Amino acid sequence: MMREKVVKPLQVSSRGALYPPSTYDPACPVGSYWDTTLTDLSWRDPAPLQQEVSCDVAILGGGLTGLSAALHLARDHQIQAHVLEAGALGWGASGRNGGFCSVGASNLPYAWMVKRVGQAETVRYYQDQRQAVEGVLELAEVEGFSVDPQGQGCYVVAHRPRYWRELEADHLIYTQVAGYPAQLLTAEELREQGFNSQENYGALNIGVGFGLNPLKLTQGLAQSARQRGAQLYSCSPLVAWEKIGSWHHWQTPGGTVRARQVIVASNGYTPEALHSSLKGSLLPVLSNILVTRPLTEAEKEAQGWWDPTPLYDTRRLLFYYRLLPDGRLLFGGRGGTRDTPEERRHLQSYMNQQMRRLFPAWKAVEIEHFWNGLACLSRQMHPHIGRSGADPSLWVGLAYHGSGVATAVWAGKVLAQDLAGLQPQISALFRRPLRPFPWPQLRLQYLRLGYLWAQWTEG
Ligand SMILES: Cc1cc2nc3c(=O)[nH]c(=O)nc-3n(C[C@H](O)[C@H](O)[C@H](O)COP(=O)(O)OP(=O)(O)OC[C@H]3O[C@@H](n4cnc5c(N)ncnc54)[C@H](O)[C@@H]3O)c2cc1C
């Protein structure tokens, strides 16, 4: 039999990783607020893999992409997938994000998208994104779980007067190309709506989106997938990957999964040495979140901020914020390229300062949670969902550009249809293969330059 070695044995927090080992270590506590919103977390820790098993499909990563793929494979196509997760289910970005269920998984400007895939496929991209957002609520309803949805749409607020023009241009695209019920609001209208901050020069409500509890979404997917027959394993890091004939052999410390087809759903946590076709193509980026104690009605009134619809600003290095069901403020922002304890402390104090600058009435409000995690960018500035060019039995759902809550769940569904041979029609944008960054070892330097540029030009 042909014995083709795909990768040498690898460690999860492996060689060549862009961030320190602690960033990838599932034993390191995350400290996310979401962990405190569930009384029973036992669903996150199904037994690790302890044997040799064979199956049609194996999935790497127990986050939204992997769990959604497993659920859809089992429920819609009667294919029992086995999911390997290095930590607890949802340990990656899925269990610790901001819970913006929104569009925006491509960072490409509209005109560039048209240039790349044409007008029709660009329109289809916007339709796919809307379907992804709406699909989350439909799925939760059908499967009978709650995600604590909040708000109507998603606002983009101009953080300087000159960004109003950008919002006007985006408004035209969202209404006339995408067909979304997007609306422009002047600064005064936004204040009246219940969003009074120090950076308000008008806003665009994209008209599609809402806020949710991402850990409840992960839980819902995991429990539904399990009930339908998917096999989920926590604490089961893939440590070695071999291909023998048409079988992938995925080895963990406790066992091996043999599968004819595999899905890589590890997004920002993808080990650098995982597979040659992915090498140097992903750029994991840190995002940071703080959560205050619950604000009283009087405190919300004093700031003039009471609407729970999610909101982010027009910076490329953006801040995103929303009120949570128990009245806390969640305030997030991208930043950091080292993830050392010193950098985390610095970012915590910076975010704290920025939050208080935007919301002066809350300058004495205590912060109860601060954490970070890895989202994922690609060189082509949009996700890749589909078959890898290197091996027809290798599938990926990766690089959601910090907008993966809706898109990852949708990607899981699309991948399930792909593997079932249904050839789902999705925008060609998502099918374009990943390409390595030039001199991939310099990815973090590119990011630092990008951040400096953004801070300098956007204020
Ligand atoms: C702080 C933060 C805030 C965010 N806020 C938002 C938001 O508000 N809205 C939005 O749309 N998106 C947001 N995102 C992005 C979104 O969370 C992600 O795009 C999405 O969760 C990706 O899901 P995933 O399942 O593909 O990957 P992840 O959830 O990252 O899961 C990948 C999993 O793969 C596992 N893994 C890696 N290597 C191995 C291995 N060798 N063996 C076994 N398992 C392995 C990891 O342990 C991890 O659990 C945010 C991201 C972060 C970090």
Q: What is the pLDDT of residues 296-334, one digit of tens each?
A: 999 999 999 999 999 999 998 999 999 999 999 999 999
Mean pLDDT across the stretch 279-295?
98
- pLDDT value, residue 390: 86
Task: Centre a 10 Å sphere on the Cβ of residue 349 and count the other Cβ atoms it contains.
Answer: 11
Q: Is 4 exposed, middle or buried (0-12, 13-18, 19+ CB in 10 A)?
A: exposed
Best CA proximity match to 292, nearest among 379, 378, 352: 352
Q: Whose CA is nearest to atom 52 of ligand 1?
A: 97
> 355 CB contacts (<8 Å, ≥6 apart)?
290, 292, 321, 329, 331, 362, 367
Q: Whose CA is nearest to atom 42 of ligand 1?
A: 237
Please give the Cα distance from 288 to 332 (Å, whole number).
5
Q: Are strands 210-211 and 100-101 parallel, antiparallel or unpaired?
A: antiparallel
Q: What percent of the chain has a predicted confidence (pLDDT) above 90?
A: 94
> 445 CB contacts (<8 Å, ≥6 apart)?
none
Note the pLDDT tens digit of each residue in 388-444.
Answer: 988 999 999 999 999 999 999 999 999 999 999 999 999 999 999 999 999 999 999
Q: Is 87 in the pocket of ligand 1 (CB under 6 A)?
A: yes
- Note the pTM of the prediction, 2 decimals: 0.97
Q: Is 351 in the pocket of ligand 1 (CB under 6 A)?
A: no
User: Across the chain, what does the average pLDDT equal?
Assistant: 95
Q: Are strands 256-264 and 394-398 parallel, antiparallel or unpaired?
A: parallel
Tell me how far apart the terminal alpha carbons of the chain are, to the nearest angstrom.
Answer: 61
- pLDDT value, residue 14: 60
Q: Whose CA is nearest to atom 4 of ligand 1?
A: 97
CA–centroid distance, 64 to ligand 1, in Å, is 7
- pLDDT value, residue 107: 95
CA–centroid distance, 360 to ligand 1, in Å, is 32
Tokens of 421: 């041979």
Query: Given a cut of 90, is residue 12 above it in pLDDT?
Result: no
Q: What percent of the chain has a predicted confidence (pLDDT) above 70?
A: 97
Confidence of residue 2 (pLDDT cuts 50, 70, 90): very low
List, as one string, the DSSP characters of 266-319.
-GGG--TTS-GGGTT-EEEEEEEEEEEPPPPHHHHHHHTB---S-EEES-SS-E
Confidence of residue 10 (pLDDT cuts 50, 70, 90): low
Backbone angles phi, psi at 397, to 5 degrees: -135, 105
Query: Given a cut of 80, is residue 4 above it in pLDDT?
Result: no
Query: Best of 85, 215, 430 to mutate for ligand 1, by most ligand atoms within 8 A of CB?
Result: 85
Q: Is 235 in the pocket of ligand 1 (CB under 6 A)?
A: no
Q: Is 91 in the pocket of ligand 1 (CB under 6 A)?
A: yes
CA–centroid distance, 383 to ligand 1, in Å, is 13
Backbone angles phi, psi at 291, to 5 degrees: -130, 130
Mean pLDDT across the stretch 223-230?
98
Best CA proximity match to 261, nearest among 94, 440, 419: 419
Q: Are strands 210-211 and 81-84 parallel, antiparallel or unpaired?
A: unpaired
Please give the Cα distance from 56 to 68 (Å, whole number).
16
List, as one string, the DSSP characters of 320-331.
EEEE-TTSPEEE
Mean pLDDT across the stretch 36-53?
97
Query: Is residue 389 a contact partner of residue 298, using CB atoms and an 8 Å limit?
Result: no
